[in-house]
Amino acid sequence: MKLHELKNTPGAVHRRKRVGCGEGGGHGKTSGKGGKGQTARSGGSIRPGFEGGQMPLYRKLPHRGFNNKNFKTAYSIVNLSDLARFEESVTEVDAQILAQVGLIRDAGLPLKVLGTGEFARAMKVTAAKFSGAAKEKIEKAGGQAIIA
C-alpha cells in the first residue's frame, strides 16, 4: 500500500454545510441559529453557570469547611512481594534503586512499604513509612526497616 492508494472509508467525508443560501437548502433564514437575541449573534454565548441574572446556584449554596486536598502527601507505594523479587545479592533497597528497576515512577516522592506478600530475606529497606505488617515481616526475616 502506498500513500496515493489510500482512500477514505465510505461515509467518512461529509459535504460542508452551506448555511444562509435560501429555504430550499434546509438551512436558510436563521441559518440554524434559532430566533433572534444573544445566541443568534456572532460571539454570543452564555457562560456556564449563568442563570439569566438570577442568583446562580453555586452562589446560593454555603461554602464552608476545610478540604485537605492541597496539603495531601503523595507516596510511592511498594509491597513486600515486589521486594522479594530482587536477587539474593541485593541487600539494601531504597527509593532510588526501586525507581531504576521500574517498581516506582518517581524517586522524589516519599516511599511507603506495605506488607502484602511473603518476605523471607534479610534486607535493609529504607523508606519514609512502613505499614505495621511490613515492618514486622522485614524484622522477622532478619532485615532492617529504616525510616528516612
Contact 123, 93 (CB under 8 A): yes
CATH 3.100.10.10 for domain 74-147, yes or no, is yes
Q: What is the pLDDT of residues 119-135, one digit of tens each?
A: 998 999 999 999 999 99
Quote the Cα angle for 50-53-58, to 5°.
50
Say what the pTM is. Answer: 0.58
Contact 84, 119 (CB under 8 A): yes
Residues of the chain with pLDDT > 90: what percent?
82
Confidence band, pLDDT 50/70/90 cuts, at residue 91: very high
> Strand, helix or coil at 59?
helix
Query: Domain coordinates of the chain in residue numbers?
Result: 74-147
